[in-house]
Amino acid sequence: MRPAKRFKIGLLVAVIAFAIIVGPRLAVHAAYSGVRFETPAEVPSDEAPRIALVFGAGLSAGGSRPSIVLYDRVATAVELYHAGRASKLLMSGDNRFVEYNEPEVMRETAVALGVPEKDIVLDYAGRRTYDSCYRAKEIFGVERAVLVTQSFHLDRALYLCNSMGVDAIGVAADRHPYADRAHRWWHLREIPAVLSAWFDLNVRHPIPVMGEKLPIDPAASVDEAAVESGEAVAAQEAPEPAGNVNRPEAVNAADSTANANGARVRGSH
């Protein structure tokens, strides 16, 4: 075979491989461009209330404080709440180990930023984006949501939640200039992550940790005093950690307690 022909074949194979690997990521980005918003102020204020679904993103300081990425997600959700664009905050994160409790730290942060506990719901089994979306629909009965996460992750979150029957829009929580190396890695990681999401939705159909249904009532009005007194979240510093308060047992597959479904609700819904 001539070198020129080998080159053409190799180039064709490379183009096909690129399309297969990168194509889904680009397709998802294009498909949800109309429901992605850069700031909370751009999120439409609908008559029917939405639940803000906030995805976990790691802890720092030995598990007592949110990572900067997680803080930005919580702060963005709080801004949505104070603006009346979300009636409840569903904090979905990982708590499979007793000493690692993303939802509780998320709750503490939101409360410190002025959200009443009655409007915060915790999902302790949001171990990955697929699980958070699945449980939002099947456990918490979420029909309409505004997803809160960084822009690199937002497309996949929108794809998963909408594919599972949640009418979801999303807002980017990019409130800080993240490290360039980390940012590049996050975007690169989304390429196989979108492929994995497609595989989960269309082939594997995994069932996450489940349990009794605990539907959130989105029609409950936002606390008016909290809205009136809420300062611009963007101007606030990250709050000091409230400490290890009311930490629940870790959720794992062997649980047979009330926490076995990975859910804990603060206040009435």
Identify whether residues 11 and 75 lie together within a single domain. no
Name the domain count of the chain.
Answer: 2
**Same domain (yes/no): 124, 226:** yes
Say whether both 145 and 184 belong to one domain: yes
Task: Tell me, yes or no, whether 161 and 244 share the same domain.
Answer: yes
Mean pLDDT over 243-263 rounds to 35
> 93 with 102: CB under 8 angstroms?
yes
Is the separation of the CB atoms in 169 and 35 below 8 Å?
Answer: yes
Question: pTM (2 decimals)?
Answer: 0.79
pLDDT for the residue numbered 64: 87
* Structural domain for 3, as ranges: 1-31
- In whole numbers, what is the pLDDT of the chain averaged over residues? 81
* In the predicted structure, residue 189 carries a pLDDT above the cut 70: yes
Q: Are residues 119 and 5 in the same domain?
A: no
* Pair (127, 57) in one structural domain: yes
Domain match, 21 and 93 both: no
203-225 as b/e: b if 16+ CB within 10 A: eeeeebbebeebebebeeebbee
Q: What percent of the chain has pLDDT over 90?
A: 59
Report which of 109, 77, 79 is spatially closest to residue 238, judged by C-alpha positions: 109
DSSP 164: T
Summary count for the chain: helices (H), strands (E) = 7, 9
With a CB cutoff of 8 Å and minimum separation 6, the contacts of 35 are 158, 168, 169, 170
| pLDDT tens figures, 134-168 | 999 999 999 999 999 999 999 999 999 999 999 99
What is the predicted pLDDT for the residue at 61? 82
